[in-house]
Amino acid sequence: MTDPFALFSAWFAEAAASEPNDPNAMCLATATPEGAPSARMVLLKGLDAEGTPGRGFVFYTNLESRKGGELAANPQVALLFHWKTLGRQVRVEGRVTPVSPEEADAYYATRARMSRIGAWASRQSRPLASRSELEAAVEAFDSRFPGEDIPRPPHWSGFRVTPARIEFWRDMPFRLHDRTLFERDGEGWRSGLLYP
């Protein structure tokens, strides 16, 4: 296979059928201003279709969170998908770019009402004095937006990771794993095998 996105889509479909929880969970690694690694789990919310310029992996977050600040300072990131039941993982390395406001609005509108309220109420990554403080903020925004029409907060949007490298890893007996690396080569990809 010469297109890593097609291979990823095939593996992702298998994961969606076999993983008990969140097959779209991925570890997002960024770096602090001092260069220290920083990682957390986020959810894949979009994979661009064949022929889309700047194809990539899309996720959403609070732009004022720790990860938002790290992404603004350094757009180089890594993603890791691990599907234990399949014995597979996919590593992605590349750069983030912001999604368009229209794309963020469209995804935000699909979220559950209380998730949209939560995007307003959470001051993500900042100190929280007590759980009741968060609950009071949720109640306040629930009252402010009583219906289904809840606009997207200006501090909440998404990013697209455009990969430069994608590695597919498959568990094999005796730790002689199968590893295939795709690296960006102009508008296409070059691929090869790696020692386990």
Residues of the chain with pLDDT under 70: 49-54
For the chain, the domains span: 4-108+155-194
Quote the pLDDT of residue 2: 84
Query: How many other C-beta atoms lie within 10 A of the C-beta of residue 163?
Result: 24
Pick the CATH number of 4-108+155-194 from 1.10.150.120, 2.30.110.10, 1.10.10.60, 1.10.510.10: 2.30.110.10
For residue 159, give the 3-state DSSP assignment: strand
Give 188's contacts (C-beta < 8 A, 6+ positions apart).
Answer: 2
Active-site residue numbers?
A: 175
Q: Which of 181, 57, 96 is nearest to 189 (CA)?
A: 181
The separation between the first and the last C-alpha atoms of the chain, rounded to the nearest angstrom, is: 20
Write down the pTM of the prediction. Answer: 0.93
| CA pair distance 176, 133, nearest whole angstrom | 51
Quote the pLDDT of residue 55: 86
Crossing angle for the helix pair 131-144 and 113-121, to the nearest 10 degrees: 120
Quote the pLDDT of residue 187: 86
Quote the pLDDT of residue 49: 66
Q: How far is CA 96 from the centre of its chain?
A: 10
